[in-house]
Structure 1
Amino acid sequence: MRETTKPGLRMKTRQAVTEALADTALELFDTSGFDQVTVADIVAAAGISQRSFFRYFSNKEDVVFGNRVPTAEDVRGELTQHLDENPVWDALCATFRAAAHQMDADTGRWKRATRVICHTPGLRARYLEKHLAWTDALVPEIAPRIDPGGSEAGLKAQTMVAIALGCFDVAITRWVDSDEEQSLAALIDEVFGFVQIPHL
């Protein structure tokens, strides 16, 4: 009988090595600073060759981001699941709360990666570029619900999404730098609750 489990096992092995290598690199980045750590430093700490490193990651930035940050399509898909049953602001909160629950499920790794991003200007800029992509994806979904047919629907939607992203960033910044045990999802609810948005 032909063996059918080997490809799956190979994928699991590759994922395990990728995660272990990322953990080693993130610890170095978090301790010494992203810009101060070289690929040579990472491979020395991991006990592998540079050639092996580049089998898993194309550069240092990929170690930090990997597939951690949701794509614009991911965020749009999550939003659409909440829009029919909730006002727009509540749907945006639920969208970012869903991302927070994923991060809470692997707090140690997510906190370290996010702290590196927040404290490294170049990585922070790349992260904000993703925010722009999220905005482009979310605005068309909520504009018709905020002001159907209105001439300022797009402007209102952009403003609301910008506020939501600001709330998300405030919650994340507090979460990664805090020693408290509060979950990111709880912080999302708290920060979004500070903002008084009409129930559109």
Structure 2
Amino acid sequence: MSSNSITRGARARARQAMRAEVAAIVMDLVLERGYEETTVDDICAVAEISRSTFFRYFPSKEDALFGEVADAGEQLRDALTARPSHETPWTAMRRALDPLIERYEADDERTRRLARLVVNTPALAARHREKNARWHELLRPEIARRLDADPTDDSDPRANAVIAAALGCVEAALTAWTSNDHPQSLSAILDRAMETIR
């Protein structure tokens, strides 16, 4: 391995670590103060970075807040692609969601508070919908393949319908999960939502 490759790898790891650190600070501040009340200047002060450094890592406060979840689309696509070929598209989608749901539940109180904030804050709800649209495009080729459909055929609604329904179930499950201080598991709520449509 060349020294240039090692240097690039070290830089990429340092960049990823800084992104994770700043994203954690953003989440802490937003959960403590509120989304609108937390400014980029507040974030920079706590993280001890300049505004230009912040914007080198994140295009906006929303992007920093969504952090890893926004990047989970590729992981969801990979999990979907790895599902056994005999599974129906709906079953494969549900099982591919397991790692994401487990991540939400791993720190359930903070994640539930963040999900509640997203549901109740128009700017964050809009960004959440944008994230879902990106995920939709990532998932479409694999769902179409499982349906023996052409992913480039916009006149065939089936792949879009499966993905929209599954992501709608996730949104409904998150809304239900955040509406109660002592909810059942997010996984169980998602199962209930998806079984309704099956």
TM-score by length of 2: 0.73
Aligned-residue offset at 1:47: 7.9
Give SS of 1:194's match: helix
- In structure 1, the gaps of 5 or more residues are 1-6
Whole-angstrom CA distance in 2 between matches of 1:50 and 1:83: 47
SS across alignment from 2:74: helix
1:1-54 CA distance string (max 9 Å, x none) = xxxxxx99xx69x94x8666545543442354312322334456x484655973
Shift of the 71–33 alpha-carbon distance from structure 1 to 2, 3 Å rule, reads: same
Quick one: which amino acid aligns to residue 191 of structure 1?
A
Alignment of 1:34-73 (within 5 A): 34-42=35-43, 46=46, 48=48, 50=50, 54=54, 59-73=60-74
Partner of 2:99: 98
Q: In structure 2, how many angstroms separate the alpha carbons of the residues matched to 1:166 and 1:120?
A: 18
How far did residue 82 of structure 1 move?
1.7
Deviates more, 1:35-44 or 1:119-128: 35-44
Corresponding position: 1:88 with 2:89: yes
Aligned to 1:30: 31
Distance 1:143 1:21, change over 3 A: closer
Provide the secondary structure at the position in 1 that maps to 2:125.
Answer: helix
State the shift of 1:176 in Å: 2.6
RMSD: 3.5
Local SS of the residue matching 2:70: coil
| Equivalent-residue separation in structure 2 for 1:24 and 1:184 (angstroms) | 25
* Paired residue type of 2:62: E
5 Å-filtered alignment, 1:160-179, equals 160-179=162-181
Match of 2:109 in 1: 108
Post-superposition offset of 1:147? 5.0
CA distance in 2, matches of 1:92, 1:155: 17
Report 1:148-187 matches (<5 A). Answer: 154-187=156-189
In structure 2, the CA distance between the partners of 1:19 and 1:176, relative to structure 1 (3 Å rule), is farther
Percent same amino acid among aligned pairs? 33
What amino acid is aligned across from residue 185 of structure 2 in structure 1?
A: S
Write the distance in 1 (CA, Å) between the matches of 2:135 and 2:60.
24
Corresponding residue number in structure 1 for 2:128:
127
Render the CA deviation track for 1:136-158: whole Å, top value 9, x for unaligned: 22222122433557x89831111
**Runs of at least 5 residues in structure 2 that lack an aligned partner in the other structure:** 1-8
